[in-house]
């Protein structure tokens, strides 16, 4: 049996659990993948990804949601900024319906893999990737339109045209046919963020520290010690001792208070509650802010379930 193009790809596993890394590697070996790299944190994962890219290939990436040093979305957007066509599969015990997971999928994650990982789900994901590669090589425009539209709740004419690299004139006859066959229906006009340089609407959000602009940050809980006024991350309170006055913090609400939903930058050590956001065009790699983005409108359509 010949090895498919997909199985010739290198695989990059970014997961801090050695057990999960071994499980994935051994099963992917059985599926025919030979070149598999494993990393246990985001920084090493990004550097390894760069080295693989230099060798002339784009790896398939398995990315753990909970990494010890970086937010998964930060890792993924950096990978996408290097190669917009990389397929990133998120591994997490969180529910697919959670907002943080929805954000990852919306910003470019290819697939969601629930933990504890089931081998049949890995196989199913790989089979889906194989099928997509074969479809891309053989399907015509009609099949491509149907595939895109049937896998989303709504889509714009502009997005269809750009994703399929077709003109509106090439797409509209197919749209009319699908409307006539009651496969799709018109909805309201859809307005989308577009690159100010090339007008492409396939863009990803880039999250970074508002002080140093670095992407190496993680979510943290913040503790304020009432006695000495120290405010720092929960991880800085070693054995419940304040890093400033070295006194034990004992009673919540009396000795200290804790706040969720903060972020700590690993580069400049800044603590912040709101992430700065830029956008990356996945076509031309131009980076821009929301203020400089274009807003393009086109007719929207919805697939009739």
Per-domain residue ranges of the chain? 6-135, 139-204+277-303, 210-274
The candidate with the shortest Cα–Cα distance to 39, out of 58, 77, 7, 11, is 11
- The enclosing H or E element of 74 equals helix 72-82
Under DSSP, the state recorded for 238 is: G
For β-strands 60-64 and 11-14, DSSP reports them as parallel
| pLDDT score for 138 | 41
HSE (CB half, 13 Å, CA atoms) of 232? Answer: 14
If you count them, how many residues does the chain have? 305
Degrees (nearest 5) of the Cα angle 136, 199, 53? 50
Q: Report how far residue 235's alpha carbon sits from residue 238's, in angstroms, rounded to the nearest whole number.
A: 7
6-135 and 139-204+277-303, same CATH topology: no
Burial 76-91 (b: 16+ CB within 10 A, else e): bbbbbbebbebbbbbb
| pLDDT score for 166 | 84
In which order are the strands placed within the sheet that holds 231-233?
A: 231-233, 217-225, 256-265, 271-272
Strand-pair partners of 301: 155, 186
Instruction: Break the chain down into helix, strand, coil percent, rounded to 5.
Output: 35, 30, 35
Tokens 């990389």 identify what position? 86
Q: In CATH, what class is 139-204+277-303?
A: mainly alpha
- The enclosing H or E element of 295 equals strand 294-303
Per residue of the chain (305 residues), what is the pLDDT tens digit?
333 466 678 999 999 999 999 999 999 999 989 999 999 999 999 999 999 999 988 999 999 998 999 888 899 999 999 998 899 999 888 776 677 777 788 888 888 888 888 999 999 989 888 877 765 544 467 788 888 888 888 999 999 999 888 888 888 988 998 999 899 999 999 999 999 999 999 898 888 899 998 888 888 889 999 999 999 988 899 999 999 999 999 999 999 999 888 988 989 988 898 888 899 998 898 999 999 999 999 999 999 87
**pTM attached to this predicted model:** 0.50
The candidate with the shortest Cα–Cα distance to 88, out of 28, 140, 144, 14, is 14
Q: Report how far residue 293's alpha carbon sits from residue 277's, in angstroms, rounded to the nearest whole number.
A: 12
* Domain 6-135 annotated CATH 3.30.1360.80: no
């Amino acid at each position: 049996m010949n090895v498919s193009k997909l199985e010739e790809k290198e695989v990059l596993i970014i997961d801090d659990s050695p057990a999960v890394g071994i499980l994935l590697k051994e099963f992917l070996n059985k599926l025919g993948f030979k070149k598999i790299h494993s990393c246990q944190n985001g920084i090493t994962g990004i550097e390894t990804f760069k080295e693989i890219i230099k060798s002339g290939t784009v790896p398939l990436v398995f990315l753990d949601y909970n990494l010890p040093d970086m937010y998964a979305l930060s890792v993924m957007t950096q990978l996408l900024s290097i190669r917009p066509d990389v397929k990133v599969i998120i591994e997490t015990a969180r529910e697919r319906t959670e907002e943080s997971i929805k954000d990852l999928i919306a910003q470019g994650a290819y697939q969601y893999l629930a933990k504890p990982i089931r081998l049949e789900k890995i196989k199913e994901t790989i089979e889906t990737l194989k099928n997509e590669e074969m479809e891309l090589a053989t399907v015509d425009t009609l099949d491509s339109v149907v595939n895109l539209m049937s896998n989303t709740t709504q889509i714009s004419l502009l997005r269809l045209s750009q994703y399929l690299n077709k003109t509106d004139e090439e797409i509209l006859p197919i749209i009319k046919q699908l409307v006539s066959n009651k496969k799709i229906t018109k909805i309201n006009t859809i307005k989308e963020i577009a690159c100010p340089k090339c007008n492409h609407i396939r863009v990803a959000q880039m999250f970074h520290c508002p002080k140093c602009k670095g992407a190496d940050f993680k979510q943290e809980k913040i503790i304020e010690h009432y006695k000495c006024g120290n405010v720092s991350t929960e991880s800085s309170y070693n054995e419940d001792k304040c890093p400033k006055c070295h006194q034990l913090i004992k009673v919540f609400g009396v000795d200290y208070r804790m706040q969720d939903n903060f972020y700590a930058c690993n580069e400049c050590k800044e603590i912040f509650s709101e992430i700065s956001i830029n956008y990356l065009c996945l076509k031309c790699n131009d980076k821009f802010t929301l203020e400089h983005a274009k807003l393009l409108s086109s007719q929207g359509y919805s697939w009739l379930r």
